């Protein structure tokens, strides 16, 4: 089972490296959205520090939405997804491998570039550290939740818009506690509670999302 898991993970990463536009477009969108706000709002540092967590998290959420349609669509078109359903290995493990590959391609680069973007908003090192830790916990949850929406809309016309409508309401708690962690840490209230809740959401998503996604894929292919 682990061998198949690693094979699917490696396959998706290799395919992503051949389609570099999926990786670059998501990262470029994130950088552009976060960088435009200081230009539009002005050089008032107090205002920039106040709005920075919310802007970074909203940009990360929207950027993750861009690549959701590609998690299963290419495999659905070429018939690979049907072969995965016929394998003796649990479909949930194969789905989890594809979700992890999606996060490594689209979510992890956002986490790595976030400290540089945080400097534009004059965030302190403490705030940047909390922001990065929150993104490290929250972006995998966004990919897991988004995979459910991608599976439910697989093969439907206008699926990209439907994915956003389905997924965005479910990701609001991640957005609230992710941005709130930085604000609580800067104000001296402590960010631990928010980070613990993000961790709990990640664990719940890790256990429930692959199962729900596998069920949705079986329904979509029947």
- pLDDT of the residue at 204: 93
- pLDDT of the residue at 199: 93
Summarize pLDDT for 63-81 with one digit per residue, the tens. Answer: 888 878 778 877 777 777 7
- pLDDT of the residue at 158: 58
- pLDDT of the residue at 202: 93
Give the up-direction half-sphere exposure of residue 13: CA atoms within 13 A in the CB hemisphere: 12
Summarize pLDDT for 138-187 with one digit per residue, the tens. Answer: 999 999 998 888 888 876 665 567 777 788 888 889 999 988 888 888 87
pTM tops 0.85, yes or no: yes
- pLDDT of the residue at 166: 81
Most distant CA atoms of the chain, gap in Å? 59
Burial degree of 149 (CB within 10 A; 0-12, 13-18, 19+)? buried
- C-alpha to C-alpha distance for 100 and 106, rounded to whole angstroms: 10
145 neighbors 171 (Cβ within 8 angstroms): yes
134 band by pLDDT with thresholds 50, 70 and 90: very high
Residue 133 has pLDDT above 90, yes or no: yes
- pLDDT of the residue at 140: 93
Q: Which residue has the higher pLDDT, 218 or 196?
A: 196
Summarize pLDDT for 107-131 with one digit per residue, the tens. Answer: 898 999 999 888 888 888 888 999 9
Residue 135 has pLDDT above 90, yes or no: yes
Burial degree of 211 (CB within 10 A; 0-12, 13-18, 19+)? middle
Residue 11 has pLDDT above 70, yes or no: yes
Summarize pLDDT for 27-69 with one digit per residue, the tens. Answer: 888 999 888 888 888 778 888 888 888 899 999 988 888 878 7
- Provide DSSP, 34-70: HHHHHHHH-S-HHHHHHHHHHHHHHHHHHHHHHTGGG
- C-alpha to C-alpha distance for 128 and 175, rounded to whole angstroms: 16
6 band by pLDDT with thresholds 50, 70 and 90: confident
- C-alpha to C-alpha distance for 74 and 69, rounded to whole angstroms: 9
């Amino acid at each position: 089972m682990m061998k198949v898991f690693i094979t699917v993970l490696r396959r998706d990463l290799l395919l992503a490296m051949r389609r570099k536009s999926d990786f670059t477009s998501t990262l470029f969108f994130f950088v552009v959205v976060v960088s435009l706000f200081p230009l539009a709002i002005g050089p008032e540092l107090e205002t920039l520090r106040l709005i920075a967590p919310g802007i970074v998290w909203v940009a990360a959420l929207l950027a993750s939405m861009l690549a959701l349609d590609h998690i299963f669509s290419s495999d659905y078109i070429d018939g690979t997804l049907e072969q995965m359903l016929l394998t003796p290995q649990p479909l949930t493990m194969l789905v989890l491998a594809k979700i992890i590959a999606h996060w490594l391609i689209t979510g992890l680069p956002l986490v790595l570039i976030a400290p540089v973007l945080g400097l534009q908003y004059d965030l302190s090192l403490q705030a940047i550290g909390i922001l990065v830790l929150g993104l490290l916990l929250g972006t995998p949850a966004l990919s897991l939740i988004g995979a459910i929406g991608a599976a439910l809309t697989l093969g439907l016309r206008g699926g990209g818009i439907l994915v956003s409508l389905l997924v965005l309401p479910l990701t609001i708690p991640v957005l609230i506690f992710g941005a709130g962690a930085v604000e609580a840490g800067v104000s001296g209230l402590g960010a631990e509670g928010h980070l613990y809740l993000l961790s709990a959401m990640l664990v719940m998503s890790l256990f429930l999302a692959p199962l729900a996604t596998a069920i949705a894929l079986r329904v979509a292919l029947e």
